[in-house]
């Protein structure tokens, strides 16, 4: 199960199965799906945060469900936990306050930025159970870690500490103990201070052009620039700068 909490322009999703280290079961998958459907369709929500009830962030797939033959119920059209391959418009921050292993790491890799406490760790230990990481870990981990480090993690199944994750660029912010969520909220507020349409277009463009030729990126950027320039928010942002005041974004 999850806890869905709205805090102004933020939505906080808390994985809430502490007795199972927040492992993803079919019911949790359905609740995550409903939460993200709400986030995507509510224009008043600008940024989402996903975290876990201690002592773990997420232990991945519930192996009891897999043992019972319910593996397919942990996936839907949006991937594992209805999240790992979801097409989102809005930024998602992982507030990692404990181990994020197997599918837990794959959830983190599906997020846009990562805040982690010292107790956090990351890893895809599926090989230790004769399985493989099938929710994105095998092709996303080497995008954020050096390839040989990612291969070591994948083939040994051993975890990576939050400190090493930060050194390699997997973690954006190393928070103090118990402070992952407050630090994630502060980061979210830095994002929501900006124009919502500009943030969403910026995110989409960066994700869609990073591995494409510069010519493709330039063409996409020019088209997006023309669309943004025609918005009320763009006019408001320029006018607010000239008038030396904070902008009043409307998302139009």
pLDDT in tens, 169-217: 999 999 999 999 999 999 999 999 999 999 999 999 999 999 999 999 9
**Does residue 248 surpass a pLDDT of 90?**
yes
Q: Can you tell me the mean pLDDT for 58-69?
A: 93
Percentage of the residues of the chain whose pLDDT score is greater than 90: 98
Q: Would you tell me how many other CB atoms lie within 10 Å of the CB of residue 172?
A: 18
pLDDT reported for residue 139 = 95
Decide if 106 is catalytic.
Answer: yes
Angle at 117 between CA 16 and CA 49, to 5 degrees: 50
Percentage of the residues of the chain whose pLDDT score is greater than 70: 100
CA atoms within 13 A on the CB side of 124: 25
Domain boundaries, the chain: 2-192, 196-242
Give pLDDT tens digits for 80-106: 999 999 999 999 999 999 999 999 999
Whether residue 81 contacts residue 24, with contact meaning beta carbons closer than 8 Å, is answered with yes
Reported confidence tier of residue 71, pLDDT bands at 50, 70, 90: confident
**Does residue 137 surpass a pLDDT of 90?**
yes
Q: Which of 19, 31, 71, 106 is catalytic?
A: 106
Q: Can you tell me the mean pLDDT for 164-171?
A: 97
pLDDT reported for residue 245 = 96
Q: Which of 126, 167, 220, 243 is catalytic?
A: 126
Let me know if domain 196-242 sits in CATH 1.10.10: no
pLDDT reported for residue 184 = 98
Domain at 2-192, CATH class: alpha beta
Q: Can you tell me the mean pLDDT for 110-132?
A: 97
Q: Can you tell me the mean pLDDT for 162-174?
A: 97
């Amino acid at each position: 199960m999850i806890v869905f909490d709205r805090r102004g322009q933020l939505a906080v999703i808390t994985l809430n199965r502490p007795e199972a280290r927040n492992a993803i079961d079919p019911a949790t998958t359905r609740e995550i799906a409903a939460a993200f459907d709400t986030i995507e369709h509510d224009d008043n929500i600008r940024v989402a945060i996903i975290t876990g009830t201690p002592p773990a962030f997420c232990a991945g797939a519930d192996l009891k469900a897999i043992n019972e033959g319910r593996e397919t119920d942990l996936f839907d059209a949006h991937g594992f936990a209805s999240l790992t391959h979801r097409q989102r418009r809005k930024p998602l921050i992982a507030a990692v306050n404990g181990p994020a292993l197997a599918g837990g790491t794959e959830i983190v890799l599906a997020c846009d930025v990562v805040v982690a406490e010292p107790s956090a760790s990351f890893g895809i230990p599926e090989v230790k159970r004769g399985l493989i990481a099938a929710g994105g870990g095998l092709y996303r981990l080497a995008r954020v870690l050096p390839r040989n480090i990612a291969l070591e993690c994948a083939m040994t199944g051993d975890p990576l500490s939050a400190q090493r994750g930060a050194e390699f660029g997997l973690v954006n912010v190393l928070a103090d103990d118990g402070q992952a969520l407050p630090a994630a909220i502060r980061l979210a507020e830095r994002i929501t201070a900006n124009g919502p349409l500009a943030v969403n277009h910026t995110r989409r463009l960066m994700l869609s052009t990073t591995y494409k030729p510069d010519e493709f990126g330039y063409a996409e950027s020019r088209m997006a620039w023309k669309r943004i320039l025609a918005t009320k928010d763009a006019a408001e942002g320029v006018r607010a700068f000239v008038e030396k005041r904070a902008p009043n974004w409307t998302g139009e």
